[in-house]
Structure formats: structure tokens, C-alpha cells
């Protein structure tokens, strides 16, 4: 049996993610020569080449890609072993890490966590608000057990499993007193006539592209203004100041002075949300959580799942 230590796992993951020994060594705060030696020792222990080195950087071999997933899982389980012992001392049986979007949780997702907490009070539920792309990465790297996400989301290999929970209606945030605020519903064609305050597309290219297609088809918005911050609050501040309009979904905290919220055309498709998780389970409570997810998804009224 190959003998490796957790430190070598961490070193290998750092190099595989950076695709560069120098950057990985800097991130790990160790000498590059020492890092190279540890990777060579790891490869000798495993018995196969995990990385291909050249002047341009590093490529991960097919064997290395297979090793990478299990290296991440091994480190995550080692960390959880420590956490589980600490939780047991507090009377808890284990941990479930749940990722949520930074704009908050949909009502069904809130109900999901509430019911799970009631049914499994001895499970520590650790909630992590993140960007959607970070949520998918968290599932792929086993840092999260499950994540509440909007779709579509970024493609990863292997893709996470997914269960729809519900959907959100897209709405327009316009300045109070604006001509569009006088309408009960705003035609999408009218959005092209106003400055459009948009979030950075590189934050979530898949969802951004989907929403753009819903609103404008294939044409670019002639007055698109990218607000170079992730937080939606900044875009809404600019709307209140009359700098343009923004598209969002209805969520707690959306209503604020200086802004009118109006629905779009009745045939505007919604944005779907649900729960994503990895096929490789990192928590013994994941099956119970997903069973509850499906129970709530199948119910007309989320409260009926209680």
C-alpha cells in the first residue's frame, strides 16, 4: 500500500489548481524546490506520474485527475473528523455544510433548512453564503455538502446532481417617478431604451447569459452599464439615484426608498432554483437532506412539508 501524508495531498492539490509550481509554492509559503521534492515523493509512493512539467507550467495527467478528486475528498474528510469530534463533545452527531447565494435564500429553501433543523436537531447545519460559481466549486471540491443555486450554473466534470425547488419571477427595479414606474408591467422592449445596470458577467456567465437571452434575445443592450461590484445593493443604490434600471428577482430587502419594483411581460420565463450536491457523499446526513428536498419540491405549499 502506498504511504503518503496529508501534507503531500495539500501540496499536490495546490499545484494541480494553479498549474504552476511557483504560484503554488507562494500560496503555500514554502520554497519551490521543497514543493517539487514533495511532489516527486508523492509520485514515487503512488507509482504513477501525476503531473507533467514543462516551461509553460504544469499539466495534470489522467491519473492525476483521478487522484485529485480523492485527494480533495481525503483532506475534507480529515478536517471533518476533527470537527466531528469537537461537535460530539457539544452533543451533536455530525455536520452538514450548506451553501447559499449571497442575495439570500428563497422561501422554500428557508423552509427546507427550518424543517431539517426540527427533524435533525443533533446535526450542525453550517451555512455558507457565496456566489453561484463558488457554490458549484464548493460542491466539486467537497467543501460543501449541498448548495442552493440558480440555474443554469457552470459546467463541471463530473456534474453535480440537482433537484429543482422552485422558480423566481424576474422583475425590474426602476427609479420612483420614472415613466416605467407608471406601468403595471414593463415590456421587455422598453428595457432597451434605458441605461441597463448589469452585474459583472464573469461572476456567473451561464446565468447572466440566460437572463440576457430572456430579456433581449441575441442582441446586446445598447446602453448596458456594468457595475463593477458583486453586491446587488450597489446597483439598487444607482437605480434610486436615477442612473438606470436593473433586473433582479423578488427577495427580502428588495424594497427600498427611491425604487419601484415592476413585473415584466407575462410571458417572461422565470429563473429556476434548486439544490445541487455531489454524487460522492461527504456527510452521513446528506441522504436525509435530499429526501426532504424532494418532499418540499413535490408539495404545492412549502409549509405542508412540515
Give residue-wise pLDDT tens across range 36-59.
Answer: 999 999 998 888 999 998 877 889
Out of 3.40.50.300, 1.10.287.3510, 3.40.50.620, 1.10.10.10, the CATH code matching 6-70 is 1.10.10.10
CB burial of 141-169 (b: ≥16 within 10 Å; e: otherwise) equals: bbbbbbbbbbbebbeeeeebebeebebee
Judge if 6-70 and 170-269 fold alike in CATH terms.
no
Chain-wide mean pLDDT for the chain? 88
Per-residue cell: 156: 463541471
Over residues 126-174, the pLDDT tens digits come to 999 988 888 999 998 889 999 999 999 888 888 999 999 999 889 999 9
Give pTM, 2 decimals.
Answer: 0.76
Q: What is the CATH number of domain 170-269?
A: 3.40.190.10
Q: Where are the domains of the chain?
A: 6-70, 92-166+272-305, 170-269
In the prediction, which pLDDT does 12 show? 92
Over residues 84-103, the pLDDT tens digits come to 788 777 777 889 999 998 77
Per-residue cell: 68: 485529485
Confidence of residue 249 (pLDDT cuts 50, 70, 90): confident
Confidence of residue 223 (pLDDT cuts 50, 70, 90): very high
Q: What is the CATH number of domain 92-166+272-305?
A: 3.40.190.10
Confidence of residue 305 (pLDDT cuts 50, 70, 90): very low
Amino acid at each position: 500500500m502506498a504511504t503518503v501524508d496529508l501534507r503531500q495531498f495539500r501540496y499536490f492539490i495546490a499545484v494541480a489548481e494553479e498549474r504552476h509550481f511557483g504560484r503554488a509554492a507562494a500560496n503555500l509559503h514554502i520554497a519551490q524546490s521543497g514543493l517539487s521534492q514533495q511532489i516527486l515523493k508523492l509520485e514515487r509512493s503512488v507509482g504513477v506520474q501525476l503531473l507533467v512539467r514543462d516551461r509553460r507550467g504544469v499539466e495534470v495527467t489522467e491519473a492525476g485527475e483521478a487522484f485529485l478528486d480523492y485527494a480533495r475528498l481525503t483532506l475534507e474528510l480529515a478536517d471533518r473528523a476533527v470537527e466531528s469530534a469537537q461537535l460530539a463533545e457539544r452533543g451533536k452527531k455530525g455536520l452538514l455544510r450548506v451553501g447559499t447565494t449571497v442575495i439570500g435564500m428563497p422561501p422554500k429553501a428557508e423552509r427546507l433548512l427550518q424543517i431539517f433543523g426540527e427533524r435533525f436537531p443533533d446535526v450542525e447545519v453550517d451555512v455558507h453564503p457565496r456566489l453561484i460559481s463558488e457554490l458549484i466549486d464548493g460542491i466539486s471540491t467537497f467543501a460543501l455538502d449541498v448548495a442552493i443555486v440558480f440555474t443554469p450554473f457552470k459546467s463541471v466534470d463530473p456534474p453535480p446532481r440537482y433537484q429543482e425547488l422552485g422558480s423566481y419571477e424576474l422583475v425590474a427595479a426602476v427609479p420612483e417617478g420614472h415613466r416605467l414606474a407608471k406601468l403595471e408591467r414593463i415590456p421587455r422592449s422598453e428595457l432597451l431604451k434605458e441605461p441597463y445596470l448589469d452585474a459583472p458577467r464573469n461572476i456567473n456567465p451561464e446565468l447572466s447569459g440566460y437572463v440576457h437571452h430572456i430579456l433581449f434575445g441575441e442582441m446586446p443592450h445598447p446602453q448596458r452599464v456594468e457595475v463593477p461590484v458583486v453586491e446587488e445593493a450597489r446597483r439598487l443604490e444607482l437605480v434610486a439615484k436615477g442612473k438606470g434600471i436593473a433586473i433582479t428577482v423578488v427577495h427580502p430587502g428588495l424594497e427600498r426608498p427611491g425604487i419601484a419594483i415592476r413585473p415584466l411581460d407575462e410571458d417572461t420565463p422565470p429563473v429556476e432554483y434548486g439544490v445541487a450536491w455531489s454524487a460522492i457523499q461527504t456527510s452521513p446526513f446528506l441522504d436525509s437532506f435530499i429526501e426532504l428536498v424532494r418532499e418540499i419540491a413535490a408539495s404545492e405549499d412549502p409549509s405542508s412539508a412540515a
